[in-house]
Structures are given as structure tokens and as C-alpha cells.
């Protein structure tokens, strides 16, 4: 398999929302040489606990830090919600449903959900809201709903979560570079600015080129 960037993210991860312009820039700058593979990591999949005031305070602090670091907008009316359950599985599954139809637009749909949740105070844990957001994105609502409910989509979402666990991913966003044949290196295990991520990817590409050149020289000797 050729080299790629592997992006582990979650639609309800505030640092991933902050990282959204960075991964877009990475795809624009390096996408031809290093296509981006999106894997849904699952921040809190399947949780059933209602978010209490302590959780709200913690999340608000995260949002403030993300806004300060990235400039991304947040709608703090979210914290007026009562009885909210921060289950990230439905939003992850929604992105997988889109990816199964067209992997090329999955990142754009992830950004669409990020914006809806963080800047628009939309409830992306709710199936009907997700269907409405898919329609607003330009997808056929009925086709999306069918794909969202499909057992294959549910299974594929679980596979994504399992891949993240096996890879030892403990936080989001996480960006790797490499291939199944040669292994993967961590570009960033968390949020970084585009300027730093660009340097890190370029450095990895430089090391890869040196290694390939050395291997080619060894083969000829």
C-alpha cells in the first residue's frame, strides 16, 4: 500500500474541530502524495451518562482552550442543555455512512458536523438531526437514513473504533504517516498549528526519501 496520512478524529471532539482547518490544509498541500484516510476514533461511543455540571465545566474549559489556540467558533448555548448524553457513536456512524458512499467527501462531512455541533448548537447525537444535516450538506436524506441504519455501517463504525484501540490511540486528533508495508509514524498526537504540522509532514517525507534512496543504493551494490 502506498503512503498515506491516517487521521483519527471524532465529530464531537473539540480539539478535532480546532484541527479542522489544519487537516484541510494538509490535504491540500500533501494530498496527491499522501492521501488522507479518515478513521473515526470514538471519543465517548455508547455512553449513557447524563452530562452533569462538573462535566459541563470541564468541557467549557476545553472549548475555551481550543478557541484560544485555533480561533474556531463555539456556541456556548450548548451548556444550557438539560439531560444531554454525550454519546459520540451516532455522529461517528453518520460520517462512516457518508464515507461508505464516497470516501472523498467524508472529511468535508466531518467538518459539517463539527460546525453544526460546536458553532450551531445542533444535537448531533440525534438521528433526525443527523438526517437533516446530511440533507443540508447536499445528500439525499432517505438514502443517508438508510445507510445510517444499515448493519454494515454499524459494523464498519465498530471496526473504526477497534482500529483506533489497536493502534493505541488515546486522544484526538491524532495524525499518522506511513503505510501498512513500512509502518506508521506519529505526525502529531494532538492539536498542533498548521505551520508546525506542515513542517512535521515535510520532515517525515524527507526521511522517507532518504530511506528509499539508501535502500535503492544498497540494492544496486
* pLDDT one-digit tens code per residue, 9-23: 999 999 999 999 999
Taken in order 155, 158, 164, 168, is the CA torsion positive or negative?
Answer: negative
Q: Are 81 and 126 in contact (CB under 8 A)?
A: no
Give the pLDDT confidence score for residue 42 in this predicted structure. 87
221 pLDDT exceeds 70? no
pLDDT-above-70 percentage for the chain: 95
Give the pLDDT confidence score for residue 193 in this predicted structure. 98
Assign domain 4-220 to a CATH class: alpha beta
Give the pLDDT confidence score for residue 219 in this predicted structure. 60
- What mean pLDDT comes out for the span 30-39? 96
Which residue, 18, 44, 51, is CA-closest to 164? 44
1 pLDDT exceeds 60? no
Burial class of residue 44 in the structure, from the number of CB atoms within 10 Å of its CB (0-12 exposed, 13-18 middle, 19+ buried): middle
Angstrom distance (rounded) from CA 73 to CA 13? 14
* pLDDT one-digit tens code per residue, 59-79: 999 999 999 999 999 999 999
pLDDT tier, 208 (very low <50, low <70, confident <90, very high otherwise): confident
- What mean pLDDT comes out for the span 35-43? 95
Which residue, 26, 38, 2, 27, is CA-closest to 208? 2
* pLDDT one-digit tens code per residue, 124-161: 999 999 999 999 999 999 999 999 999 999 999 999 99
Domain regions of the chain by residue span: 4-220
Amino acid at each position: 500500500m502506498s503512503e498515506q496520512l491516517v487521521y483519527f478524529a471524532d465529530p464531537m471532539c473539540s480539539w478535532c474541530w480546532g484541527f479542522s482547518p489544519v487537516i484541510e490544509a494538509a490535504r491540500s498541500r500533501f494530498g496527491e502524495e499522501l492521501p488522507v484516510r479518515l478513521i473515526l476514533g470514538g471519543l465517548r461511543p455508547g455512553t449513557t451518562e447524563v452530562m452533569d455540571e462538573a462535566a459541563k465545566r470541564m468541557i467549557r474549559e476545553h472549548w475555551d482552550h481550543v478557541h484560544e489556540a485555533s480561533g474556531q467558533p463555539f456556541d456556548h448555548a450548548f451548556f444550557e442543555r438539560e439531560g444531554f448524553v454525550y454519546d459520540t457513536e451516532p455522529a461517528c456512524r453518520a460520517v462512516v455512512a457518508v464515507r461508505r458512499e464516497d470516501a472523498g467527501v467524508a472529511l468535508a462531512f466531518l467538518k459539517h458536523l463539527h460546525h453544526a455541533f460546536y458553532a450551531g448548537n445542533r444535537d448531533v447525537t440525534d438521528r433526525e438531526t443527523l438526517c437533516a444535516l446530511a440533507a443540508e450538506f447536499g445528500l439525499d436524506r432517505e438514502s443517508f437514513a438508510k445507510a445510517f441504519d444499515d448493519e454494515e455501517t454499524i459494523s464498519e463504525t465498530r471496526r473504526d473504533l477497534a482500529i483506533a484501540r489497536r493502534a493505541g490511540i488515546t486522544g484526538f486528533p491524532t495524525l499518522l504517516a506511513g503505510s501498512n508495508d513500512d509502518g506508521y509514524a506519529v505526525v502529531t498526537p494532538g492539536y498542533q498549528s498548521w505551520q508546525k504540522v506542515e513542517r512535521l509532514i515535510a520532515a517525515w517525507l524527507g526521511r522517507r526519501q532518504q530511506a528509499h534512496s539508501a535502500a535503492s543504493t544498497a540494492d544496486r551494490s
